[in-house]
Amino acid sequence: MKILITGGAGFVGSNLALHLRQTMPAAEIVCLDNLYRRGAELNVARLRAHGVTFHWGDIRTPDTFPSGPFDFLLECSAEPSVLAGHNSSPDYLFQTNLTGAFHCLEAARRWHSRVLFLSTSRVYPIARLEAHPWREQETRFAWEDDGTPGISSRGVREDVSLTGSRSLYGFTKYAAEQLIEEYRAAYGLQAVVNRCGVITGPWQFGKVDQGVAALWVMAHHFGRPLKYIGYGGQGKQVRDLLHVADLCELVAEQLRAFDRWDGWVGNVAGGLETSASLQELTQLCREITGRETSIECDPVNRPNDLRLFIADCRQLFARTDWRPRRTVRDIIRDLADWVATYERELAQL
């Protein structure tokens, strides 16, 4: 079996490559990456040390792809920031997330590869989610049950209306999903699409616009200031979290039984049980790291932000015994242990 992972030196791609190396030892695994995001270079040595081939290349430029064919193409590359292109050119965003996805699909068509595409919960329209009734609790916001199709207190289902804007980032990922459907119809492409929530865990280099749990842990460890941004500056906005190791276990299952998963498009996330507000993350970080840091309050909302996002994964759970096994506490503890272990390297980022 030959597996190509695009974005393979990134957070998800590298963790997935190492998990597959361990669980599918006979597979040949190649990681393609352009090392655009700072910190990705630290993963190259990890990959090579475990017998994973690293290939420098850029999905925007198809002649930099490794020689095929590959049995599976796992599309993990992305410009993942929801703010990408908002105050600057969206060129890199579109060339990577949409044109790059096209180049991956063309390679898969030529190679007769099966495709697993990591999409995002950001395909769901912002205005629809923001308009859903909510209540304020002591440490978080929570959605109400009002009978709205596709949204409940347990989260957003796949059958919610997709009409409306979803950010330029969300659009590129949704458009790539639609392109996959066209390739399925035109060429018989076999594909799986996982709409992932907030994936986190060790080797994620958290930024303000992407990787909030890792950002929070590193800020507490290194004493870097943080900020509650938007929604009154209280830190009550909520996301569900999924440990990258849990995601890797599901992807390995999907690859082993690809015929059964072929055609799947749906939520893959931590759900309500593995959700946290910024306030709650702060308390966990203080408890687990034993450190505190200053937190400024900025009540003004950022563009494309959400008060709440929780994915309802009941459609996923109906077809598999897989469940997220790591709690929010587990996630923060794993991140804290990783930061402490690699303190010198991470201090430079």
Largest CA distance in the chain: 56
Per-residue pLDDT of the chain (349 residues; tens, 9 = 90+): 999 999 999 999 999 999 999 999 999 999 999 998 888 889 999 999 999 999 999 999 999 999 999 999 999 999 988 888 888 899 999 999 999 999 999 999 999 999 999 999 999 999 999 999 999 999 999 999 999 999 999 999 999 999 999 999 999 999 999 999 999 999 999 999 999 999 999 999 987 667 899 999 999 999 999 999 999 999 999 999 999 999 999 999 999 999 999 999 999 999 999 999 999 999 999 999 999 999 999 999 999 999 999 999 999 999 999 999 999 999 999 999 999 999 999 998 8
Q: In sequence order, what are the residues at sequence separation of 6 or more whose Cβ sits closer than 8 angstroms to the Cβ of residue 231? A: 141, 237, 299, 301, 305, 307
| Environment class of 345 (CB within 10 Å of its CB; exposed 0-12, middle 13-18, buried 19+) | exposed
Three-state SS for 198?
strand
Structural contact between residues 181 and 221, judged by C-beta atoms closer than 8 angstroms: no
Residue with tokens 């994620």: 204
For residue 69, whether the previous peptide bond is cis, meaning omega lies within 30 degrees of 0, is yes
- All domains of the chain in start order, with CATH: 2-347 (3.40.50.720)
Q: Of 15, 106, 20, 118, whose CA–CA distance to 68 is shortest?
A: 106
β-strand partners of 156: 151, 311
| Contacts (Cβ under 8 Å, ≥6 apart) of 343 | 221
**Cα torsion for 77, 270, 318, 323, to the nearest 10°?**
100
> pTM for this one?
0.96
Q: What angle do CA 222, 223, 229 make, to 5 degrees?
A: 115
CA atoms of 121 and 18, how far apart (whole Å) = 25
